[in-house]
Structure 1
């Protein structure tokens, strides 16, 4: 369960994340807890990171300087990893947010999770599967809205029902989640289904298909019935085929 007072460390790889997205990332991070440490790593002597300087100041993110002393060696990644481990050993943090599309952080994410600490990953679609799966939860940058933008379902490009139903991995995962979480009456708690999906697929997010909420996505497939539970919340059931 997410608690607003959970302390989080946000570590950003400036070489692999566009500064225009950091506001949206921090808004998303706020859903999981309080970002008590925010650091962005890079060689600030390089002109390609100049746009990061103003953004880092605006969002009160501490720039961490790391000179690229050797060609072909990513000193920035090493600095981020060392700092992450130092912060981990303080035992102060409930979660780490690693913002990068680089597979070099796969082992770091796994190591943090070995300590029972949650890892939230953020990156582009090109992020290798190994890093995505090493996180407890992974969010693609392109599904995040800037804080000033209108965050509504209409702002997302929705995948139509026929294409959703042809997505074998999606449909199979949702059906399995409903079956696993359902009681004897066949109904399952929608939130539980979402949790099961993310355990199997850390990058699962209804926004990946253009739907702001899991309930919207499941209704759109036309394969599930979603209703309000008598005690509150939403429940879902596999839709019965004609003739059943």
Structure 2
């Protein structure tokens, strides 16, 4: 018998255009027996046309949908003893509920758009990116001799080296935390919005694991070496 899956969607943050994709992802982990979307039911939304979802009216208060979703998740865990949750949101506020669910033995599948913060991704058992574009052609790489290495990347490299054990790399959440603590850097203020996008845009400098709660990043010594040498030649 397939396990029951609770599908809980932050309707204030995720568009109803993903309704089918969310159910498809949930179906890979069991039977979606609880399927709810939380938002102000009185306002216009494409969720009103999403079949298979029970809309939970959260009212208009600040973070009302987030709070109600979190309360229902804990009730489903403790009262109905559900052990698999799909939480669809790109909001970092769900980091706490994802952590508590996992601490109590539940599996948490996070679904969100590219803007979803690394902290929420890392707290899920697995994270699936909604609306991810399939590459049509390999990206054109900047010639290695022209790659710039900024002080920013040198700081990132230093943190990866500090947190890496046996050259396995540092978790993305660790990089995010240490860059904020040591250098007051919030990646959300950058054009890439999250660390995964930042590292993916620089394949010559960084080697990145596939998406996942324990995904790590490593720096490429040869990439930093070539780029630094080129910069020195240019300044000579």
Indicate the TM-score class for this superposition, using the shorter chain for normalisation.
0.5 to 0.7
| 1:35 to 2:32 alignment | yes
1:23 to 20, 23, 41: 20
Match of 1:52 among 47, 51, 55: 47
Aligned residues: 158
Of 166, 169, 177, the residue aligned with 2:207 is 169
2:90 partner SS: coil
Match of residue 104, structure 1, among 86, 93, 98: 93
2:136 to 141, 146, 157: 157
Q: Per-residue deviation at 1:107?
A: 0.3
CA distance in 1, matches of 2:116, 2:38: 18
Q: What residue in structure 1 maps to residue 54 of structure 2?
A: 62
More off after superposition, 23-32 vs 97-106:
23-32
Deviations 1:53-78 (A, max 9, x none): 111xx2x2111011114xxx211111
TM-superposed CA distance for 1:200, in Å, is: 1.8
TM-score, normalised via structure 2 length: 0.60
2:145 corresponds to: none
Alpha-carbon displacement from aligned partner over 1:131-186 (angstroms, at most 9, x marks no partner): 11110111110138xxxxxxxxxx6435459688536232xx4xxxxxxxxxxxxx
Corresponding residue for residue 116 of structure 1:
105
Q: Which secondary structure state, in structure 1, belongs to the residue aligned with residue 47 of structure 2?
A: helix
Question: CA–CA distance in 2 between the matches of 1:6 and 1:161?
Answer: 44
Structure 2 contact 90–117 (Cα < 8 Å) conserved: yes
Residues 104 and 198 of structure 1: CA distance in aligned 2, closer, same or farther (over 3 Å): closer
Would the alpha carbon gap of residues 115 and 91 (structure 1) be closer, same or farther in structure 2, given more than 3 Å must change?
farther
- Contact 1:96 1:120 survives alignment (8 Å): yes
Is the CA contact 2:77–2:83 (under 8 Å) kept in the aligned structure 1? no
Indicate the larger mover: 160-169 or 125-134: 160-169
Structure 2 residue ranges without an equivalent (≥5)? 143-199, 218-236
* Structure 1 residue ranges without an equivalent (≥5): 145-154, 174-193, 205-244
| 1:186-228 per-position Cα deviation (integer Å, ceiling 9, x unaligned) | xxxxxxxx7xx735229x9xxxxxxxxxxxxxxxxxxxxxxxx
Coordinate RMSD, CA, aligned: 2.6
Structure 1 equivalent of residue 118 of structure 2? 129
Map 1:174-185 → 2, pairs under 5 A: none
Corresponding position: 1:201 with 2:215: yes
Paired residue for 2:68? 79
